[in-house]
Every structure is written in structure tokens, then in C-alpha cells.
Amino acid sequence: MLYKFKSKATGDLIMLEPDAKRLLKIMAREEQAKGIFLADQLAAAIASLEAAVLQEESDGQQDLKKISLKQRAQPMLKMLKICLEKKADVVWGV
């Protein structure tokens, strides 16, 4: 299954289900096939993702055969930051 994240401020972001669920879990939106980040919730979501990326980097236990969380999270972080700047909501599953 694919997850499509949409916003009026950016283009769509399409992710495979395992990657999207991992990021959503980090941002406290676990097990939601449909949802929304309101503009005022974006700062907390960004902070959660950035903290998880830093934690993974500081652990130093990265499997070189897998794509790192930092790489997986970059498109989402970019989208969220633009939406935060433009005060736009982000929705998925609709």
C-alpha cells in the first residue's frame, strides 16, 4: 500500500507503507491510515522526526544495507517545514 501526503503548499509526497508508518509512529500518529497534521501541530512533528534522526545517528548502529532514517525522513521534513512556513495543513489517506 502507498501513503500519499498532500498539502496546498507543496506537491504530494508518496511513500511505501512501512516507511510511512515508521515516520508516523515517530510523529505520534501510529496506525492511522487517514489523518491530518494541522499547521499548529507541524512544529512538534518536525521536532520529533529530527530528534529520532539524531538519536539514530548518535547510536551509530546503522546497517549499511538499509536506508537510514535520516534519508527516509528528509522528504517528509522538507514538506513539513514548507507547510509550517506557509501555515498549511498536511493530510494523508483522503
Q: What is the pLDDT of residues 53-94, one digit of tens each?
A: 999 888 776 666 778 899 999 999 999 999 999 999 999 988
Q: What pLDDT shows up at residue 61?
A: 65
Residue 25 in this model has a pLDDT that exceeds 80: yes
**Cα separation, 26 vs 28, whole angstroms:** 5
The C-alpha atoms of residue 89 and residue 35 are separated, in whole angstroms, by: 11
* Edge-to-edge strand list for the sheet holding 35-37: 13-16, 2-6, 90-92, 35-37
C-alpha cell at 22: 515508521
CA distance 22 to 44: 16
24 — pLDDT class (breaks 50, 70, 90)? very high
**pLDDT, tens digit, for every residue of 5-15?**
999 999 999 99
CA angle 68, 87, 79 (to 5 degrees): 20
